Amino acid sequence: MAAYGPNRVTAKVADGKTAKFVQKTDYPFRDTVNLEYCGDTAAFDLDLRIPEWAKDAQVTVNGESLKGVKTGAFYTVNRTWKSGDKVCVVFKSEIELTTWYNNSTAVQKGALIYGLKIEEDWRTYEENDARELKVEHKEELPLREVYPASPWNYGLVTDENASFELKETDEVALQPFASDSAPVEIIANGVALPEWTLDGNIAGPQPFGPIDYSAEEMQKITLVPYGCQRLRITHFPTMNNEADTEAVVRTEGSLITRNGITYQDFDNIVVPKAQNYKLKVKSRRKRNRNH
């Protein structure tokens, strides 16, 4: 079993006998998967995928805990299955931070990546030239765009002032991947970055981190699973007063010629705020080995 979610599976096994499993779970919003066997009595292997992110994963059959469960691999349950047998798999997960472009920070827990909860402003256009796309549309399929109706340009606090509070609903909605019905949220500390602005109709590159801040600037922000949002900020500028500012190194570039002058061109370097920086340019030349 490689994918988890509410479903029923029927398959032929062991001399043509019929195996049936009913899977009941709120995964990936919860960490527990329950399987009930309701097929013919038959001996066969049940392979369960144990995600690499799982912490101390547990597998039980009819209440008996099984040994040898390892993360990042399949765990095989070999037995003679009888109708009514129950399998319970628990993937314990923790909130984790990962580092991305421009030293930005992403938040994940288990199988889910989290992004900022952003209010939406939907706009409908009668003409066909929204953002100059010139998209033809039918009357029953209006051309629509969504814009942020709440602040989106936040950095995420990751030092000693970091706080991540997990909030779960009592039940998982029929459509869980929606902003107003997300089954789980993470309340974190953020800092508004007014200098981080839109580049056209998209968010500009994240300011390079870590960025200093004051405690008075902190405010609570809400994170929801990535699929719940149509407007998504998932890589947050890193707000951290404890980490040293890192050097940005560009080693790959291209030669460009303008007005007869040749330049060495590198990707833009995005800095966290307006202040003094040092720019060092080193020329790497091969030593002439001819004598």
Alpha-carbon gap, residue 195 to 274, rounded angstroms: 9
| Bond from prior residue into 28 cis (ω within 30 degrees of 0) | yes
Per-residue pLDDT of the chain (291 residues; tens, 9 = 90+): 888 999 999 999 988 999 999 999 999 999 999 999 999 999 999 999 999 999 889 999 999 999 999 999 999 999 999 999 999 999 999 999 999 988 999 999 999 999 999 999 998 877 665 566 666 667 777 778 889 999 999 999 999 999 999 999 999 999 999 988 999 999 999 999 999 998 878 888 888 889 999 999 999 999 999 999 999 999 999 999 987 665 556 666 677 776 677 766 666 665 555 566 666 666 544 434 444
Amino acid at 82: K
Instruction: Please identify which residue in the block is written with the tokens 């599976």.
Output: 9
Asked if residue 14 lies in contact with residue 42, where contact means CB atoms within 8 angstroms, the answer is yes
Of the candidates 86, 84, 82, 81, the residue with the CA atom closest to the CA atom of residue 59: 86
Asked if residue 234 lies in contact with residue 115, where contact means CB atoms within 8 angstroms, the answer is yes
Strands 64-65 and 55-61: antiparallel
The predicted pLDDT at position 214 comes to: 94
Length of the chain: 291
The predicted pLDDT at position 134 comes to: 63
Task: With 0.85 as the threshold, say if the pTM is over it.
Answer: no
Of the candidates 98, 83, 71, 67, the residue with the CA atom closest to the CA atom of residue 19: 83
The predicted pLDDT at position 287 comes to: 36
Asked if residue 46 lies in contact with residue 98, where contact means CB atoms within 8 angstroms, the answer is no
